[in-house]
Chains A and B, each alone.
Chain A
Amino acid sequence: MSGQIVPGGSRKLKNRVSPQAVIGNSLTMAYRTLLLIRRTPQQLFDVTIQPILFTLMFTFLFGGAISGSVSGYLPIIIPGILAQTAITASMATGVQLREDMDKGVFYRFKSMPIARIAPLAGPLLADIVRYSIATALTFTMGYLLGFHWVSPGAALLAGFLAVFAAWCLGWVFALLGVLAKTAQTVQGISAAIIFPLGFLSGAFVPTETLPRWLQDFVNVNPLTYVVSAVRQLLDQGTIGTDFWLSLIGSTVLVLVFAPVTLKMYMRKA
């Protein structure tokens, strides 16, 4: 440190953060999240162990009972696991955000001249990596067990849909993370949302086998549409109404929850 710094009173400063800085700061915060994941790889259990374990477990447990054979069940279960893993992965977003906001380092972030949104945007950006790992692993498991998709392009699109839907849902859990007092609260509430959403959908069983009243629930469950869209892509390689409905539904979710989350976060940050 040599020489004199520019005196505080003679600096020309703007009372806002430039768009470049918003992007730069958010990317740095995403980098930070990835570093944290590398330091504590347990954080990746939900996107690694779970897709592997669930694929094996469900395929061999229910394959015979539901579809008569393992290979017959794969077209049903792979899209199901894909969606299930995606939503459980998005649940971690809220829990981790809450934990992070309680850490002392947030005190420093708040006093630094950075985009205030960056500490929230960063983890959400980094989540895309987590969702992609989950999706890739599920596909790999399916492939190893003998599942074949019509075309790689369609599989890629299906993967994209799963990641996108998970990312959009992530905002709901991010809001929970911002509002809740402790990480445990977030964990509890998220689980209460995730389980009915995951299991009471077309993820694991063909909906026709369900009792009438349950079918009604399953049919309004947004996850059912994502699962069907993925199934159609993988089975037939086509894009149907379910695909568009899922895409629009997810987008609406972000459009509603992102601004609320941002607002609540800013109020606390």
Chain B
Amino acid sequence: MTTRQTTVDREHATAIAVEARGLVKTFGDNRAVDGVDLTIPSGCVYALLGPNGAGKTTIINMLTTLLKPDGGDAKVFGHDVVRETQVVRQLISVTGQSAAVDERLSATENLTIFGLLLGLSRSEAGKRAGELLQEFGLQDAAKRTLEKFSGGMRRRLDLASSLIVQAPLIFLDEPTTGLDPRTRVQMWESIRRLVSSGSTILLTTQYLDEADQLADRVAVIDHGRVVAEGTPRELKAAVGKATLNLRLANEEDAAGAMAAVQEVLGVKASTPEAMLVTAPMADPDRVTDLLVALRSERIRLAAVSVQDPTLDEVFMALTGDESKGGKPQ
């Protein structure tokens, strides 16, 4: 009985990559992180979203042992980030918001040194450096010092430096900021590959479509607190409103269709285009009534579609008020 209990506990512990309870960090009288709880299941991509200064980087710094929390605690695969720093560091890799590579050395030298520090032999480190430069499209610039690198190249080297040894938990603070569209898509592929081979990813991003595309779960952070958490779908369902799009077969039916929407759904429709009538859709069930009403009015439809809410709407709704300026007291 007891043995069984322990096995279950252990399985539970290993299934959770990050568990934070009541994390607090204050800088002077600024509560940058103000009681954050996070549970990140192992094997997923977890995104932190939030406006500038929300506290995302500070949360990451605490989870990666770079900053000591002023309150609360956090565990990485069951290991306390304050008491077991050295264990935690063996389980993570970090790509910070600003490049953490040596400007004065070449790309190869940077990667080789990181490899040696991670315990690779000289030849292994050199080989791994070559592989990564190839993978990140930097092989032509391998011998140049980074002073001559573009911002995006530096970013790519920074990411490569974090992948010398694949860590079970990978932190990426705005990994695609400053990357061109093609490199961004490559980055997404790399992230998916890392997850499929067993890593857990915690990332922050300013691009909501990126979170939508990549993240299994999202936490929206504002003023150092988690203001919403869930899968992108759940968040959108909770906050955003779906839009009903009616594309008309005949242009002259527009007025009739708008009247029908007003009557059946009780909301005001609009026509962004001549043959298109759109309306916020609160209750999908009532759409059937609307369609019946349109049929009886002999209004013919070319297409009917429902547009899901976007994460942008969720983000604006949850963090919008404060962005007008001024801190809540």
Point out residues on A near B: beta carbons under 8 Å: 1-11, 13-17, 21, 24-25, 28-29, 31-32, 35-36, 39-40, 103-114, 118
Contacts of A4 in B (CB 8 A): 197-198
Cα(A110)–Cα(B42), bound, Å = 24
Contacts of B193 in A (CB 8 A): 1
Contact B109 A6 (CB under 8 A): no
Interface size on B, residues (CB 8 A): 53
Contacts of B197 in A (CB 8 A): 1-5
Q: Distance in Å from the Cβ of B196 to the closest Cβ of chain A?
A: 9
Tell me whether B90 is interfacial, beta carbon within 8 Å: yes
Contact B14 A39 (CB under 8 A): no
Contact A5 B90 (CB under 8 A): no
A-B CB contact pairs (8 Å), 17 listed: A3-B197, A5-B199, A8-B42, A8-B77, A8-B91, A9-B78, A11-B90, A13-B87, A14-B87, A15-B87, A28-B117, A36-B105, A103-B102, A104-B101, A111-B89, A111-B92, A113-B86
CB proximity to A under 8 Å, residues B56-98: 64-66, 76-79, 83-87, 89-94, 96, 98
Cα(A3)–Cα(B166), bound, Å = 11
Give the nearest-CB partner of B95 in chain A.
A108
In the complex, given contacts A14-B86, A31-B116, what are 17 additional A-B residue pairs having Cβ atoms less than 8 angstroms apart? Answer: A4-B197, A5-B199, A8-B42, A8-B200, A9-B14, A9-B77, A10-B14, A15-B84, A21-B119, A35-B109, A39-B105, A104-B96, A104-B99, A105-B103, A111-B64, A111-B66, A111-B93
Contact A6 B168 (CB under 8 A): yes
Tell me whether B277 is interfacial, beta carbon within 8 Å: no
Point out residues on B near A: beta carbons under 8 Å: 10, 13-15, 17, 42, 64-66, 76-79, 83-87, 89-94, 96, 98-105, 109-110, 113-114, 116-119, 145, 161, 166-169, 193-194, 197-200
Cα(A114)–Cα(B117), bound, Å = 7
Contact B86 A17 (CB under 8 A): yes
User: A-B pairs with the 10 shortest C-beta distances?
Assistant: A9-B14, A8-B168, A108-B100, A8-B77, A113-B89, A113-B90, A107-B100, A5-B198, A105-B102, A28-B116
| Residue from B10, B42, B114 within 8 A of A112 (CB atoms) | B114
A-B pairs with CB below 8 Å: how many?
125
| Residue from A8, A40, A110, A112 within 8 A of B104 (CB atoms) | A40
Give the nearest-CB partner of B77 in chain A.
A8
Q: Distance in Å from the Cβ of B137 to the closest Cβ of chain A?
A: 16
Q: Distance in Å from the Cβ of B158 to the closest Cβ of chain A?
A: 8
